[in-house]
Amino acid sequence: MTDDHVYLSLAEGSEEGEARWAFGTGFEDPLHGVDTAVPEELDSRILAAYCLALGDDALVLAQRLAEWCTRAPELEEEVALANIGLDLLGQARLLLSRAGQAEGAGRDEDALAYFRNADAFRNVRLAELPNGDFAFSIARLLVMATWRLALFERLTESKDPVLAAVAAKGVKELTYHRDYTAQWTVRLGDGTQESHRRMQRGIEEIWPYTGELFTTAPPEREATEAGIGIDPATVREDVEATLRQVADAATLTLPVIPTLTASPRTGGGRVGKHTDALAPLLTELQSVARAHPEATW
């Protein structure tokens, strides 16, 4: 951002402002004019599983960001985090809707969001970790946004036209998410002794979970082979380069990204192996829908 005030950015009407502020990335329907029928040459099961995983990442992280409402260090950051969460929630809705359509079992976005237990979710574990302090959440969001942006940039070429359209819209949003968190990372890391300590600690606390982001789990392997998705291992170099550039500017030290094998035996969110933090998060997220399963509003 070219200034330090969210509200000034909101007021900007230029194309630049539209591209980099969360509010400016989309009130238009990203699927307008897109043929939403699942292409006959694509395997619906593979498409459903891949969209479910990406949708779960966004849904769970959006819920964590919602927890910052009334708790952020400044009002402007509360507004920014809330709207980043809304961007992710919008991505989750589109992706879960596509997953339900491809699955063909009659489950819509609400059924997938509110009526699955933790072991049926396929989000990466980094998304579900409790927020910690502001520096922890900034570190997590920086890594997630940089990784997700790299995936979405490539997913614009997906053989599924709906997924490609969702990715194209998401690129604009995720670019802002990455830039916002990069600025805060530099501000905290290259700030006071205490802010540097907390930012470095936040990086170190999330880092054991970063290896999963670049591990090719079965849903991603199948989607890549079908031309639907992207092998996350192929974005590791670009993501790591961006993160190290930010870390250098912030005078922070990045550990080595760990290696994880995502299998039913060794774990990983993509195969339904989660931390103890996910179930309580879902209990809160799903409480109203489960208490009033037939309600509409």
State pLDDT tens for residues 7-35: 344 334 434 444 443 434 446 789 988 99
Is residue 95 within 8 A of residue 54, CB to CB? The reply is: yes
Average pLDDT over residues 194-207: 98
What is the rounded radius of gyration, in angstroms, for the C-alpha atoms of the chain? 18
Locate the domains of the chain by residue range: 42-291
pLDDT in tens, 35-64: 999 999 999 999 999 999 999 999 999 999
pLDDT in tens, 117-167: 999 999 999 999 999 999 999 999 999 999 999 999 999 999 999 999 999
Mean pLDDT of the chain: 90
Cα-based angle 161, 62, 157 (whole degrees, multiple of 5): 20
Average pLDDT over residues 219-241: 97
Task: Give the pLDDT band (50/70/90) at residue 258.
Answer: confident
pLDDT the model gives residue 245: 97
- The 10 Å Cβ neighbour count of residue 275 is 16
pLDDT the model gives residue 22: 41
Class of domain 42-291: mainly alpha
Report the range of poorest mean pLDDT among 66-75, 260-269, 277-286.
Answer: 260-269
Using DSSP, state whether 229 is helix, strand or coil. coil
CA distance 180 to 250: 14
